[in-house]
Amino acid sequence: MIKMKKYSYALVVGMTFVLVSCGNSPENEISNSDPIHEGHNHEDESIELDNGKKWIVVDEMMGHIRNMETDISLFESLEEKDYHALAVKLEDNIGLLTSNCTMTGQAHDELHKWLLPYIDMVGELSNAKNDEEASAAYHKIQVSFKTFNTYFE
């Protein structure tokens, strides 16, 4: 129960960072017509390329994304899997990523289509009740990074 409360708090804080940090200019205001944020109905949002090219993610944010990707890659080679420790690292980087959000426009919107489901996946990892659930969440996260690398650079 404590773990769930901790995750819920972390998720609320993380989402607040996403919504506040990324909404700091008038063109990024969140409204009821914004399908990315409306009711968190982001699972059915498909990411689009930038006229056939990958979207550029600003360096201040990309560093945190690459840190998470590295943590996930290194985790694969560990003999003893501490899924909780990995979840904590990922949550920390999500907080840093969202607090450094300076992107605007469609690149920002497309990144959110990847980021919001990714945050949910990290939540699943954090709240896993056993290694089987944690492993399933971990594998979803791995696939998520393949998606990220398809659409962003």
Domains of the chain: which residue ranges? 2-25+56-151
- Select from 2, 1, 26, 3 the least CA-distant residue to 91: 3
| Termini Cα distance of the chain | 38
Is pTM, for the whole model, over 0.85?
no
Predicted confidence (pLDDT) per residue in 21-48, tens digit: 464 433 333 333 333 333 444 455 899 9
Chain mean position to CA 55: 16
Dihedral class, residue 51 (left if φ above 0, else alpha if ψ from -120 to 50, else beta): left
pLDDT digit string (tens) for the chain, length 153 residues? 445 445 544 444 444 444 444 644 333 333 333 333 334 444 558 999 999 999 999 999 999 999 999 999 999 999 999 999 999 999 999 999 999 999 999 999 999 999 999 999 999 999 999 999 999 999 999 999 999 999 999
What pLDDT, on the 0 to 100 scale, is given for residue 44? 56
Q: Which of 73, 72, 82, 75 is nearest to 134 (CA)?
A: 82
